[in-house]
Chain A
Amino acid sequence: MIQVYNLHKKFGKNQVLSALDLKIEGGGIFAVLGPNGSGKTTLIKSILGMVVPNKGSISVLNKPIKSGWKYRQKINYLPQIANFPGNLKVKELIAMIKDLRQKPSEEDKLIALFGLEPFMDKKLSTLSGGTKQKVNLVLTFMFNSPLIILDEPTNGLDPATHIKLKNLIKEEKANGKTFLITSHIMQFVEDVADEIVFLLEGKIYFKGSIEALKTKTEQTNFEHAIAAISSN
């Protein structure tokens, strides 16, 4: 699904990723974790082609991405900050993304799931943070793509929506989708993730199941295991 080889990225003097190698096979939920500034978002954005690496190569679905852009039709991405053009209405935004992607979509089901019907005719600038995040989720999940990348998907969600999101992710996983997720909510990660990719100082420090991580750090609690691996 994704192959990253010898990836280097520097922002000014700050070396964010250094010689990062990562291989992700298809199917399953991969949680990209790491302390603040460890390069999680940079890694994700490199895969999306939003960040241009200094060195190294990335392949998505067995094709090198270089400076291409067509491969992104196979990816759904949820950005960290849900901020949209304020003058657009929710339904116009959804129509616009559909228009740009030219792909069959099933937004109605998702709009019903997140209870967004009363907001469809509202302008995006009038929505609360949590509602915006729901719109963000609809935009991400409405297309059928093999790879789904979520950057902090739980931001601003209430508990009920949080549970709906988890179920949605599990459902899509059962359909054979591959997920890359970053989150600081360890409970959420523990609930959904099949495998942990732990970044530290621009490298993959650990890759494996939650159980393997607990064994390695000799911790019984996942959150403590993550804390232990960060401080080692």
Chain B
Amino acid sequence: MNRQTILIIVLGIIGILLPFIFPAYKLQISFLWILIVLALTWDIQGGQMGYNTFGNILFFGIGMYLCASIQVGMFFPLSEWTASGGEKTFVHEPDQFFQGFFVGILAAGLVPAIIAALIGYGILGLRGHYFAICTLGLGIAAGEIAGGIELIGAGQGMTVPPWPKGIGDTELRAEFFYFLSFILMVITFLFLKWAYQTRFGLILNAIRDNEDKAEAMGIPTMRYKIIGWVITAFFVGIAGGLMGNMVGYIEPVEVAFAGATLGVFMILMTILGGKGTLWGPVIGATVFHLFKEGFWTYFLGWQYVALGLLIVVIVVFFPEGLMGWIREKYPEKFGETVDEEDQKSSVEL
């Protein structure tokens, strides 16, 4: 066992214990796990593959709407549920709730993955900022279109089935979603840790460093780009399904396709932590979440000023992120040897 494995195990145990140490913070920490998933998956494209996307929020929103719609639609007519003027109240029995939830979460992962596979060929053929802007358009269009569809509540938004009555209180609900989001985060992390060590990870990096050369060497780059996007879509979709249930109310452009908030935050968190590294997104998301929640408490009304400044400072002074900064300071901790002679000679140049 090397140190990293120990660290992962220690952090894992802490993750399991956290809801019991800080019971009041369960939901907030659950959001942190979701943020980490978003940052980790953004890094597949943005960090490892060199494709800066604004569009991951598309899968997030689809996952969220799909999960909620299935949870409701499996047992009740969806249109009556979302019709705001409806006089009926529908109550989910506990087993209905859990059946619906698990089918919903599954679909929330699979369907975005399929969509990513279908549109990937067209979109991933774009490069540079054209790719960024195309994905931005996708995210915004999705939000606007979702806001026009009556079946899922249109601009009214839709509510997610509430936690069924009669099985435990809100603490149980918070624990349920805490551990689900924690497990999702752990699986995403371990999966990516493994994936980056395989040929797949190397190919992603090759695409980032020089796509044309990679292609010339006979690597079917498009196939790998699509696979990368499918992985992203899968995890982000599940995260969306979970988030929808945790928030309880889905609004098209604020909760589901929240490009202006979450869509940008996932990028910021990754850059803050250091893109192209495995731990960067984790650290970035944690620090960002802490900062942000702190701003809300202490800078009421000023939190946007503080956040804006923070963003500017991050990208201007730490474009390589915290990990990059640490790496530069303590390269030996990363198993990198510094050639003193080489360093000297480069200085003298």
A, B: real partners: no
